[in-house]
């Protein structure tokens, strides 16, 4: 069979199955039955992205199938093949959505099935920073379970996000390979139609970050081709259905690598590579993915994919716990003469000398020296320690400063991992990532309890206190410049964050100090200086300098941006914001939802739905994405009255920001325990109940002017 015949036959087969499944569902449930995927604001995301039409019922699904049929032309031209591929993918989405009728939970561990919008938003930053350099879609059954595991491991150790479809999932289970979103290995489902769940991620990325208009299929495919670094690895034997799905992948710009020999080859798109151990290299080359290589001299792997790895008590060799015993982590700027480069010292017992399962002290001091080093960069480097130590396979790190907690797994210990290797990791990464400011770096790790107590109380805490004082005096007024960040332009081409001391980037990961350090490290990089010499309106936070900068950096897409208003020329959102706030008209206030919150808000929208109101680098007055820490800022929608407009937040978020928010409210308005006046999901998820609660509490927003 030719490639044409194969794709058409596969497409026809899937179409037939879909038609049957929809008819059967209508017979069973009636045509008005609702159909939807959970936790998405984009209906059936693939169909919506391609056609611009939202499907909500079985009757509409049937109409949609008729539209899909129009894509299934049978001329032997390339475009017909691609469109049949897309039609196959859409049919797969229809088959998959039927599994979710009546709130069913069709997938169970280890499989994920449909992925929520929030998952995609979370991927934004690691994708733009190259922390996740690509997305692999592995499909079918490997010749042996070991080959499957080796292939997955090869991608995992490069930080690539891996999705699995079909028998390969069982093969990994067979050899006890750990999977899960936290280690970037995501089994989607065992039916081939489950592949749509990763296509859905790619297409929603275009809607969320790229501001692609649903229904603009040409722009959509251009976006996925240029910006979504995905590729497919399909094990032989390929049947017609898989070949038809492959045509869909190629239409989106994702090359397919297979070991099936008799398949027609399409240069750079459909590639036969018999040797599976070469798939990694072949795939990266075909998709033009570059991997940053970090060679660190430690006995276990080091890769960003291990950042989310969790080590349970039963799997741990030893732990260090700053909440129970004295611990600290510290970067200390010293004179070059005081630092011996690459010297790593352990003062106290090594892991071998510690009892199995014991809780110990640890304190590491990283001395750095460099002509361009500034004390302001110390906390920026220090905050990266969490990421560095977490990337070690079999080592887990949470917290910071003197409250960190580290676990070393039995597996890592058995592989020969020692305390001194933590020093090796810190040294290598600090030198790698901060080479523009750090010329010399030396690490001392204390495990001797008395030394840890001394370091914590006599060295670290006084430094932390000095830094906090400096941070408290860092206000928008006290600095001469702000910074831009355009990292997210990789996905949101016209988005610009303006980062100020009192307003961090909306992803929550870039503070003014971070931006300053990024600028110092890479003067032509994503963070540029924005002067603030020509204010237009200080209350709005508008400046001619800021307008000029965003106009230039957005290539003319934006003309005016204010720093402190959500109504007038608000800052744009890319899509990876930690929180979204939106106007609640009945109370003259705003509702804030964080990405982790899956429930309903009094706006009648979930986080995903609120989030879909903005993004892609466009301005949407009334809705604004922002970081969690911005909530307690004195500059939070200052132009509209500030934080006293906040009327509702999910309970968990409220607790997270309570201390700082209450302090700000006390300082600005003299209100004690402001968070007690703010509603949450245990109090109200509809506006009437919320207003009743706010009235009872005497919430200040009720007395303010309407915002619209
Ligand atoms: Fe993206 Fe803004 Fe965060 Fe930069 S600060 S990474 S542009 S969200
Ligand atoms: Ni010193
Ligand atoms: Ni972003």
Q: Domain spanning 117-287 has what CATH number?
A: 3.40.50.2030
Residue 488, ligand 1, Cβ within 6 A? yes
Residue 124's pLDDT is 87
The architecture of the domain spanning 304-364+371-443 is: 2-Layer Sandwich (3.30)
Strand runs labelled E in 242-350: 256-258, 270-272, 316-321, 328-333, 344-347
Q: Please name which of 662, 620, 621 lies closest in space to residue 643, comparing C-alpha atoms.
A: 662
Instruction: Return the number of other C-beta atoms located less than 10 Å from residue 469's C-beta.
Output: 10
Residue 550, pLDDT above cutoff 80: yes
Q: Identify the bridge partners of residue 583 per DSSP, sorted by sequence position.
A: 590
Q: Of the ligands numbered here, which is closest to the C-alpha atom of 124?
A: 3
Residue 550, ligand 1, Cβ within 6 A? no
Residue 643, ligand 1, Cβ within 6 A? no
Residue 125, pLDDT above cutoff 90: no
Residue 574, ligand 1, Cβ within 6 A? yes
Ligand 1 centroid to residue 575 C-alpha, Å? 10
Residue 251's pLDDT is 95
Ligand 3 centroid to residue 554 C-alpha, Å? 14
What band does 212 get if pLDDT is binned at 50, 70 and 90?
A: very high
Residue 292's pLDDT is 79
Strand runs labelled E in 140-255: 161-165, 185-189, 230-234
Stretch 342-354: mean pLDDT, rounded?
Answer: 96
Stretch 544-560: mean pLDDT, rounded?
Answer: 96
Token couple for 434 = 């901060």
Ligand 3 centroid to residue 575 C-alpha, Å? 5
Fold of 481-703: 3.40.1470
- Helices 78-98, 3-29: crossing angle, 10 deg rounding: 30
102 burial type by CB count under 10 A (0-12 exposed, 13-18 middle, 19+ buried) = exposed
Neighbours of ion ligand 3 (CB under 5 A): 124, 488, 574, 576
What are the pLDDT digits (tens) for 297-309?
A: 999 999 888 988 9
Q: Please name which of 297, 283, 300 lies closest in space to residue 133, comparing C-alpha atoms.
A: 283
What are the pLDDT digits (tens) for 408-446?
A: 999 999 999 999 999 999 999 999 999 889 999 999 999
Token couple for 250 = 């190629």
Ligand 2 centroid to residue 367 C-alpha, Å? 7
Task: Tell me the longest C-alpha to C-alpha distance in the chain.
Answer: 81
What band does 456 get if pLDDT is binned at 50, 70 and 90?
A: very high
Nearest residue (by CA) to ligand 1, atom 5, is 505
State the distance between the two ends of the chain, measured CA to CA, in whole angstroms. 63
Residue 1, pLDDT above cutoff 90: no
Residue 704's pLDDT is 94
Stretch 540-569: mean pLDDT, rounded?
Answer: 96
Residue 167's pLDDT is 97
Residue 521's pLDDT is 86
Residue 129, ligand 1, Cβ within 6 A? no
- Position of tokens 């992925």? 115
Residue 478's pLDDT is 95
Residue 267, pLDDT above cutoff 90: no
Q: Identify the bridge partners of residue 185 per DSSP, sorted by sequence position.
A: 162, 180
Residue 708's pLDDT is 80
Per cent of the chain over pLDDT 90 is 87
**DSSP 8-state class, residue 152:** H
Q: Which CATH class for the 3-103 domain? A: mainly alpha
Is the complex ipTM more than 0.85? Answer: yes
Phi, psi (degrees; rounded to nearest 5) at 200: -60, -35
Atom nearest to 489 CA in ligand 1: 7
Q: Yes or no: say if 443 and 423 are a contact pair by the CB < 8 Å rule.
A: yes
Question: What does the alpha-carbon distance between residue 430 and residue 377 come to, in Å, rounded to a whole number?
Answer: 12
Choose one of 572, 576, 615 to mutate for the ligand 1 pocket test, by most ligand atoms within 8 angstroms of C-beta. 576
CATH 1.10.8.190 intervals, the chain: 3-103
Residue 130's pLDDT is 83
Residue 506's pLDDT is 94
Ligand 2 centroid to residue 368 C-alpha, Å? 9
- Helices 78-98, 196-208: crossing angle, 10 deg rounding: 100
Question: What does the alpha-carbon distance between residue 452 and residue 446 come to, in Å, rounded to a whole number?
Answer: 6
Residue 602's pLDDT is 97
Atom nearest to 495 CA in ligand 1: 7
C-alpha distance from residue 563 to each of 496, 536, 571, 620 (Å): 12, 12, 7, 14
Ligand 3 centroid to residue 124 C-alpha, Å? 5
CATH 3.40.50.2030 intervals, the chain: 117-287
Q: Of the ligands numbered here, which is closest to the C-alpha atom of 526?
A: 1
Sign of CA dihedral 224, 226, 230, 231: positive
Token couple for 482 = 């702000």
Beta pairing, strands 344-347 & 161-165: unpaired
Residue 52, pLDDT above cutoff 80: yes
Q: In what order do the strands lie in the sheet with 363-369?
A: 328-333, 363-369, 440-446, 344-347
Nearest residue (by CA) to ligand 1, atom 8, is 507
Stretch 148-159: mean pLDDT, rounded?
Answer: 95
Residue 399's pLDDT is 87
Residue 293, pLDDT above cutoff 80: no
Residue 505, ligand 1, Cβ within 6 A? yes
What band does 615 get if pLDDT is binned at 50, 70 and 90?
A: confident
Atom nearest to 497 CA in ligand 1: 2
Instruction: Return the number of other C-beta atoms located less than 10 Å from residue 423's C-beta.
Output: 21
Atom nearest to 496 CA in ligand 1: 7
Q: Please name which of 404, 434, 396, 406 lies closest in space to residue 329, comparing C-alpha atoms.
A: 404
Residue 668's pLDDT is 95
Residue 509, ligand 1, Cβ within 6 A? yes
Q: Of the ligands numbered here, which is closest to the C-alpha atom of 338?
A: 2
Atom nearest to 125 CA in ligand 1: 6
What band does 264 get if pLDDT is binned at 50, 70 and 90?
A: confident
Residues 6+ apart with CB under 8 A from 412: 300, 317, 392, 393, 394, 395
Q: Yes or no: say if 224 and 206 are a contact pair by the CB < 8 Å rule.
A: yes
What band does 26 get if pLDDT is binned at 50, 70 and 90?
A: very high
Q: Of the ligands numbered here, which is closest to the C-alpha atom of 615?
A: 3
C-alpha distance from residue 477 to each of 485, 502, 538, 548, 609 (Å): 20, 9, 10, 20, 35
C-alpha distance from residue 512 to each of 33, 294, 515, 687 (Å): 50, 28, 5, 36
Residue 487, ligand 1, Cβ within 6 A? yes
Residue 490's pLDDT is 84
Residue 226's pLDDT is 93
C-alpha distance from residue 400 to each of 103, 145, 330, 351, 387 (Å): 40, 40, 9, 21, 11
Residue 646's pLDDT is 98
SS (H, E, C) 619-678: CCCCEEEECHHHHHCCCCCHHHCHHHHEEECCHHHHHHHHHHHHHHHHHHHCCCCHHHHC
Residue 210, pLDDT above cutoff 80: yes
Lowest mean pLDDT among 135-139, 603-607, 613-617: 613-617
Residue 34's pLDDT is 97
Question: What does the alpha-carbon distance between residue 96 and residue 44 come to, in Å, rounded to a whole number?
Answer: 10
Residue 173, pLDDT above cutoff 90: yes
Residue 469, pLDDT above cutoff 90: no
Residue 506, ligand 1, Cβ within 6 A? yes
Phi, psi (degrees; rounded to nearest 5) at 296: -120, 135
Q: Please name which of 567, 581, 558, 420 lies closest in space to residue 495, comparing C-alpha atoms.
A: 558
Residue 289's pLDDT is 93
Phi, psi (degrees; rounded to nearest 5) at 327: -135, 165
Query: Higher model confidence: residue 91 or residue 296?
Result: 91
Question: What does the alpha-carbon distance between residue 249 and residue 255 come to, in Å, rounded to a whole number?
Answer: 7
């Amino acid at each position: 069979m030719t490639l044409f015949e194969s794709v058409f036959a596969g497409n026809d087969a899937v179409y037939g199955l879909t038609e049957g499944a929809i008819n059967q569902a209508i017979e069973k449930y009636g045509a008005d039955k609702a159909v939807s995927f959970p936790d998405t604001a984009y209906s059936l995301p693939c169909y919506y992205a391609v056609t611009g039409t939202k499907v909500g019922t079985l009757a509409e699904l049937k109409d949609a199938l008729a539209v899909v049929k129009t894509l299934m032309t049978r001329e032997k031209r390339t475009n017909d093949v691609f469109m049949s591929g897309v039609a196959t993918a859409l049919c797969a989405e229809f088959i998959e959505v039927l599994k979710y009728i009546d709130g069913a939970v069709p997938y169970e561990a280890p499989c994920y099935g449909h992925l929520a919008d929030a998952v995609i938003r979370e991927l934004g930053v690691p994708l733009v920073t190259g922390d996740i350099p690509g997305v692999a879609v592995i499909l079918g059954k490997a010749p042996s379970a070991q080959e499957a595991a080796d292939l997955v491991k090869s991608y995992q150790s490069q930080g690539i996000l891996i999705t699995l479809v079909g028998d390969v999932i069982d093969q990994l289970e067979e050899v006890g390979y750990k999977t899960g979103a936290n280690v970037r290995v995501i089994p989607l489902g065992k039916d081939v139609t489950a592949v749509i769940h990763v296509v859905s991620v790619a297409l929603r990325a275009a809607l969320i970050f790229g501001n692609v208009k649903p229904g603009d299929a040409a722009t959509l495919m251009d976006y996925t081709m240029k910006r979504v670094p995905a590729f497919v690895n399909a094990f032989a034997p390929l049947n017609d259905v898989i070949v038809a799905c492959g045509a869909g992948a190629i239409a989106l710009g994702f090359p397919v690598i297979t070991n099936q020999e008799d398949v027609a080859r399409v240069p750079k798109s459909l590639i036969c590579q018999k040797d599976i151990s070469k798939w990694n290299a072949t795939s990266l080359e075909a998709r033009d993915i570059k991997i940053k290589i970090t060679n660190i001299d430690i006995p276990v792997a080091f890769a960003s994919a291990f950042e989310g790895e969790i080590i349970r008590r039963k799997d741990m060799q030893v732990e260090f716990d700053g909440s129970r015993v004295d611990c600290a982590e510290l970067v200390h700027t010293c004179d070059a003469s005081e630092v011996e480069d690459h010297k790593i010292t352990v003062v106290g017992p090594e892991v071998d000398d510690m009892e199995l399962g014991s809780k110990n002290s640890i304190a590491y001091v990283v001395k750095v020296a460099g002509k361009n080093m500034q004390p302001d960069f110390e906390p920026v480097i220090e905050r990266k320690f969490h990421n560095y130590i977490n990337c070690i396979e079999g080592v887990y790190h949470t917290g910071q400063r003197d409250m960190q907690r580290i676990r070393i797994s039995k597996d890592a210990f058995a592989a020969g991992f020692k305390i001194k290797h933590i020093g090796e990791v810190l040294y290598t990464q600090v030198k790698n990532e901060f080479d523009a400011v750090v010329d010399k770096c030396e690490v001392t790790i204390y495990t001797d309890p008395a030394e840890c107590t001394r370091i914590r109380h006599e060295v670290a805490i006084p430094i932390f206190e000095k830094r906090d004082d400096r941070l408290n005096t860092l206000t928008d007024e006290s600095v001469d410049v702000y910074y831009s960040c355009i990292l997210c332009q990789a996905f949101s081409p016209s988005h610009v964050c303006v980062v100020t001391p009192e307003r961090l980037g909306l992803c929550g990961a870039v503070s003014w100090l971070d931006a300053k350090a990024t600028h110092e490290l890479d003067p032509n990089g994503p963070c540029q200086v924005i002067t603030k010499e020509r204010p237009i309106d200080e209350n709005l936070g508008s400046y001619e300098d800021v307008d000029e900068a965003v106009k230039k950096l957005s290539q003319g897409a934006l003309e005016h941006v204010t720093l402190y208003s959500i109504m007038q020329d608000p800052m744009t959102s890319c899509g990876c914001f930690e929180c979204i706030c939106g106007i609640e008209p009945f109370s003259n206030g705003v509702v804030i939802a964080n990405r982790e919150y899956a429930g309903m808000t009094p706006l009648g929208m979930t986080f995903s739905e609120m989030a879909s109101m903005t993004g892609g680098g466009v301005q949407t007055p009334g809705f604004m994405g922002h970081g969690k820490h911005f909530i307690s800022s004195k500059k939070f929608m200052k132009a509209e009255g500030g934080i006293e407009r906040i009327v509702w937040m999910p309970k968990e978020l409220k607790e997270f920001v309570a201390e700082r928010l209450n302090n700000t409210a006390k300082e600005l308005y003299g209100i004690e325990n402001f968070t007690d006046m703010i509603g949450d999901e245990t109090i109200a998820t509809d506006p009437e109940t919320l207003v009743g609660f706010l009235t009872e509490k005497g919430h200040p927003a009720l007395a303010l002017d309407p915002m619209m």
